Homo-oligomer: A and B are copies of this chain.
Amino acid sequence: MPRTNANYVFRALADPTRRAIFEELTRQGEQTVHALTRYAGVSQPAVSKHLTVLKRAKLVRHRREGRETHYRAQPEALGPMVDWMEKYGAFWRDRFDRLETVLERMDA
């Protein structure tokens, strides 16, 4: 029901193919739909649909250049998920703590 951006992000990343596409875009940078299709192992229309879902969550942006469309990752869109983890992931705080310790030690 909730059309919040956080919800779109969570839902977008729930699918492994979509995660793979996002991962590929963060690793390799901007890619055309064609390239992503070769990578993803599903049909081109399927990739286009996934990209639409990722777009809705603002996890990717696109740029048209002639007949091809270049997509790139927009990792800032993970913000809502990070916020959520900060609120509800106690383990998370542990990591912060450990990081603090690391930094303190580095400092000594």
Shortest beta-carbon distance from A62 to chain B in Å: 18
- The DSSP consensus for interface residues of chain A is helix
Q: A46 contacts the other chain (Cβ, under 8 Å)?
A: no
Asked if A82 meets B75 with Cβ closer than 8 Å, knowing A14-B10, A14-B11, A103-B103, the reply is no
A96→B100 CA distance, assembly (Å): 10
A3→B11 CA distance, assembly (Å): 17
Interface CB pairs A-B, < 8 A, 27: A10-B10, A10-B14, A10-B19, A11-B14, A13-B14, A14-B14, A23-B87, A23-B88, A26-B88, A26-B90, A75-B90, A75-B91, A76-B91, A78-B85, A78-B88, A78-B91, A78-B92, A81-B81, A81-B85, A82-B85, A82-B89, A82-B91, A82-B92, A96-B99, A100-B103, A103-B103, A107-B107
Binding site for B on A (CB under 8 A): 1-2, 7, 10-11, 13-14, 16, 19, 22-23, 26, 73, 75-76, 78-79, 81-82, 84-85, 87-92, 95-96, 99-100, 103-104, 107
